[in-house]
Amino acid sequence: MEKYDCIVIGAGPGGAAFARGAALKGLKTIILEKEALPRYKACGGGLTPAVKNLLDFDYSPMIQRKVEGVAFLSRGEEGIVYYPDSMPVEMVSRSDFDHLLVTKAVSAGATLVERMKAVSVKESRDEVVIVTDTGDIFSAQVVVGADGARSIASRAAGFGRGYGGIAVEAELYPRDPAVLDEYGKHSIFGFGFIPGEGYGWVFPKKDHFSVGIGTSRARMPGLISIYEAFVKQFRFSERGA
């Protein structure tokens, strides 16, 4: 059994940022990540201004586009409503951005183990023991469950099975780059297209759009047709995306 001061499960932004902070404070820290990095993450990849205050290093090479603000599209209403003074958003690719964060954690002294999934988290009076799918066993006084929406750490701590929503996202590359100029100044949210408490988004990146829909329901029959209908609201769908 290998002993650490701190075990972080999951190398997403939460886990990587925590591991970096712990390593910088001199704690012997290990990050367990089930995927090989960089890994794909279904996400709009929009960073709000708060991120600048959270990170004390330069991540500007990751920014593919800065949008001026947010715009809204409502089903049954005419056109997209642009809010000129709304929040600027920085657009990144999650695989690149997340990879930068975990690289920073490793530079700070954290150990990263990829392709290793935590399968059990057991807490005793003095320590927490993690068993992985490779049969490795680690223990620490502090375990950070940064293992996403289906977190096993969260379940082990008694917080239930987690969030049950569903989403579909695709990266759409327009053949006509002028479409990116047309839609590239705002992140667009669409309401009323998805049953329940769902919404759609169109986030412009350097050379493509992240377009997705999501709902808080655990099941959504016809999700792909709903997605296609949402995409049809935008002229870029007629122009080769």
What residues make contact with ligand FAD under the rule CB under 6 A?
9-15, 32-35, 39, 41-46, 117-118, 146-148, 152, 167, 169, 212, 214
C-beta of 97: minimal distance to ligand FAD in Å?
10
How many other C-beta atoms lie within 10 A of the C-beta of residue 64? 18
* Least Å from the CB of residue 213 to ligand FAD: 9
Pick between residue 42 and residue 178 the one whose CB is nearest to ligand FAD. Answer: 42
State the alpha helices, DSSP H only, in the chain. Answer: 13-24, 50-54, 94-107, 152-156, 178-183, 223-231
Q: Which of 46/190 has CB closer to ligand FAD? A: 46
Closest to ligand FAD by CB, 140 vs 152, is 152
Residue nearest to ligand FAD (CB): 12
Residues in the chain, how many?
A: 241
Query: Cβ of residue 18: shortest distance to ligand FAD, in angstroms?
Result: 9
The nearer residue to ligand FAD, 146 or 231, going by C-beta atoms, is 146
CA angle, 177 then 181 then 187, to 5°:
120
Nearer to ligand FAD, 7 or 180 (CB): 7
User: 133 and 117 in contact (C-beta within 8 Å)?
Assistant: yes
Q: What's the rounded Cα separation, in Å, for the pair 24 and 178?
A: 45
Q: In what order do the strands lie in the sheet with 29-32?
A: 111-113, 29-32, 2-9, 137-145, 128-132, 118-123
Minimum gap (Å) between residue 141 Cβ and ligand FAD: 19
Angstrom distance (rounded) from CA 202 to CA 190: 8
Give the whole-angstrom CA distance, residue 220 versus residue 196.
Answer: 9
Residue 177: exposed, middle, or buried by beta-carbon count in 10 A (0-12, 13-18, 19+)?
Answer: exposed
**Contact at 8 Å (CB) between 15 and 28?**
no
| Shortest Cβ 226–ligand FAD spacing (Å) | 14
The least CB distance from residue 99 to ligand FAD, in Å, is 10
Distance of closest approach, residue 78 Cβ to ligand FAD, in angstroms: 26
Q: Which is nearer to ligand FAD, 125 or 135 (CB)?
A: 135
Nearer to ligand FAD, 74 or 216 (CB): 216
